[in-house]
Structure formats: C-alpha cells, structure tokens
Amino acid sequence: MNILIINAGSSSLKYQLMDPDTGVVSAKGLCERIGIDGRLNHSANGKKVVKDIPMPTHSEAITATLNILVDPVDGVIKSTDEIDAVGHRVLHGGMEFFASCIIDDAVIAAIEKCIPLGPLHNPANLMGIRACQAVMPTTPQVAVFDTAFHMTMPPKAYRYAIPTEYYKNDSIRRYGFHGTSHKYVTKRAIELMGTKDIKIVNCHLGNGSSLSAVKDGKCQDTSMGLTPLAGVPMGTRSGDLDAAVVQFIMNKYGMSADECLNMLNKKSGVLAVSGVSSDFRDIEENANAGNADCELALEKFAYEVRKYIGSYAAALGGLDVLVFTAGVGENSATMRARICQDLEYLGVKIDAEKNNTRGKEAIISADDSKVTVWVIPTNEELMIAQDTAELVKAAN
C-alpha cells in the first residue's frame, strides 16, 4: 500500500510516501514559500532534488508533489493511481474528533468549526485537504488530529477551574498536542512490554515538549492545554505560568495580549533562560563550557519534567513504564540522566551504560529498576499512515 502523508502549514507543505506495513518511506519532501514564489525539495532514490516551481496556493504545491512522485527520473510511482490514500495531519480536533477519520463534507465543516481553537494551523491544514481533493477526487483522504489521543482524559483532567460558561460556550479546556507521537510511543511501549495493563508516562521532549499519563493504553492527562503553550518549558515557549504575569507585563510595557502571547510562545523557554539558543545541543555545549545561564536552563527544564513525572505517577496511582522520545528525549543521554536523578523513590533507576544510547529503541533502566525506562524514537508519519490505511481498509 502507498499512503501519501501531508502536513500542510501556512506557507509550506511536507509530504512522505510511505508503506504503512513496513514503514518504508519511498519519497519525501517539502514545498516551501507557498504564496511567495515556491520551491520543491524532494528526496527519493537516494537523491535530493530542488526545483523552483511557482506555488501561488497549496494547489500548485500538491500538483508539484504529485508530478515529482510520478516523474520518470526522480519519481517512485508510475501513476497517482498507485497512491491508495492520503493522510493529513490536522492540529486541532477540538471536541469534535476523538479519533482519526475519513474526510467528507461533514468532517471538513467540523475542522472549520475548530478554527478558533487552532487559528494558525487548521486553516492551513484545510488548504492541504482541499488541494488534495481537487487534484485526486477519488482518492480517500483521512484526517489525523494532534489532539485526538488525549480525548480519553476524564473531566477532572481536562476542565479548567474557571467559570463553566467558558467551557460550555467556547470549548475552553485542556486538549493537549503531540497526540500522534504520544499514541505511537504508547502503542510501541505496549507491544514491547507485552501487555496493555501498564501505567505509562510518556515524555515527548523536543523543540516543543509535552508529557502524557497513560493507563490501559488510554490517555489520562497531558501537559499541554488549550494551546501548546502550557506544560514544561520548551525551546521558545514558557510552559506553565501564573496568568497574572501576563497582566503585569501587558500593563507595565504597554503590550497587547497578542504581543505578550507572542513573547511567551517565541521568546521564552530555554531560549530565554539560557540567553543563548532554543536548541538543546547549543545549550548543552555552552553549559559544558561553563555558561551558568545555560546550566540553569538545563536544570530548570529537567526539574519541570521531573515534577510532571512525579505528578503523573500520583495521578495514575503508580508507574510501570517511563518513555523518552523526540529530539531531546531520543538523543540526549545527559538530559535523560538529569531528569531521572532522584526519581529512585518512584522506582526509576537508570543504568548509565544502557543510557548511553541515541535514536533507537532501548531500555535504559537498571535490571533492578521497578520502572522500565525506554527510549522509543517517535514516528508520527508511520502512525498517520497506519491510521489512514486502517480506516481505508475498513471502509472497503
């Protein structure tokens, strides 16, 4: 089977052509500068191709993608008929979507309804969907939501302690993000442990970071909220914060709410604390060279992640498996060690030698650790491809 995975942003569109059974990616690429001029970056057959192609809208980007996929030299298929289905990454499913689904008019209308919750991403995701529908009208399209995995949270986890009208009238509640990644690593952890009957805390630690608490394969809580700003500090996002800080800064510096939120989303996090970079490799390098602010940024990040692990162990009533994934979680042995430091009371004991691993599935806990600690590289595209294939097969 060939599944085309599309992740449409406001001026970009990423794609992968994947076999959902093997996870093999035969081609992938990025259309960028959509609406400006247009450039296609394509990798297939061990070769990279860059082409300037006018892309006034997402339609031309999709057309360019399909053209290169069937190109006799740079392509990997003979005809677009070989694409069995398209899986679209959609940011916000609001309270409308609890799972991935085949796209029809009602689904499009419901994604539109979620635009106030995902004002930057959902319109772009819809442009990608509509562009695909226009050029491949008979190919099934599936929407996979970043929020869906977290929809099993109970009200005590997802409701905010603010007047009910904001929940009832405006759907303001915790949703959580990175759901496709949390779903993938949960699925793998269950497969690797050989049982669903486990309490898992997943740590997706990358440029954006979030944790999830999972019991019997179902999400019970997650650290991001109505938007991805909540939770642990991230590359450039502040994470959790006393809301009165916003009022204080707005009043003192004459900032609008949008300006203040922009500062919290783009100029905060480990970038702000380190004063050097949002990239954990740069921060680690500078901390090793003696930069105290970089050391504080790493310490703060590890501390906040550790606090979430502790609170989720309390929320789940125990902990069996701790999972590290995404750029930092998969690659930084020192950050994993920092986070797990002093978690022995919870039954988490890291083996320094086993922890010396990067980017592959591995147990990094000691043989006598009560909690099994895993590094599981995430694969959101594979999850999208598998969800898409499953839905399309079931519909036939």
**Binding region for ligand AMP (CB under 6 A):** 206-207, 235, 279-281, 284, 326-328, 331-332
Q: Which is nearer to ligand AMP, 122 or 332 (CB)?
A: 332
Tokens of 190: 């269950």
In the structure encoding, which two tokens stand for residue 250, read together? 């707005």
The pair of structure tokens assigned to 160 is 């905010």
Strands 13-18 and 25-32, sheet pairing:
antiparallel
Phi, psi (rounded to 5 degrees) for 23: 80, 5
Output the CA–CA distances (angstroms, integers) from residue 305 to 108, 229, 268, 294, 309, in the order listed: 36, 15, 17, 17, 6
Q: Least Å distance between CB 129 and ligand AMP?
A: 24
Instruction: For the CB of residue 336, give the shortest distance to ligand AMP in the complex, in Å.
Output: 10
Tell the smallest beta-carbon distance from residue 324 to ligand AMP (Å): 11
Euclidean distance between CA atoms 139 and 151, whole angstroms: 28
Rounded Cα–Cα distance for residues 123 and 111 (Å): 9
Could you tell me if 235 and 279 are in contact, meaning their C-beta atoms sit under 8 angstroms apart?
Answer: yes
Whether the CB-CB separation of 61 and 114 falls below 8 Å is answered with no
Identity of the residue, 141 or 209, whose beta carbon is nearer to ligand AMP in the bound complex: 209
Nearer residue to ligand AMP within complex by CB, 97 or 301: 301
Instruction: Output the smallest distance, CB 93 to ligand AMP, in A.
Output: 21
User: For 198, which DSSP code?
Assistant: -
Beta carbon of residue 107, minimum distance to ligand AMP (angstroms, whole number) = 28
Nearest residue to ligand AMP by CB is 327
Contacts by 354-359, CB closer than 8 A, 24 or more apart:
357/333, 358/330, 358/331, 358/333, 359/330, 359/331
* Shortest distance in whole angstroms from residue 358 CB to ligand AMP: 6
368 has catalytic annotation? no
Which residue lies nearer to ligand AMP by CB, 206 or 231? 206
Q: Which is nearer to ligand AMP, 173 or 178 (CB)?
A: 178
Residue 77 or 229 having the CB closest to ligand AMP: 229
Closest CA to 296 of 273, 279, 280: 273
74, 146, 221, 387: the catalytic one is 146
Residues serving a catalytic function are: 146
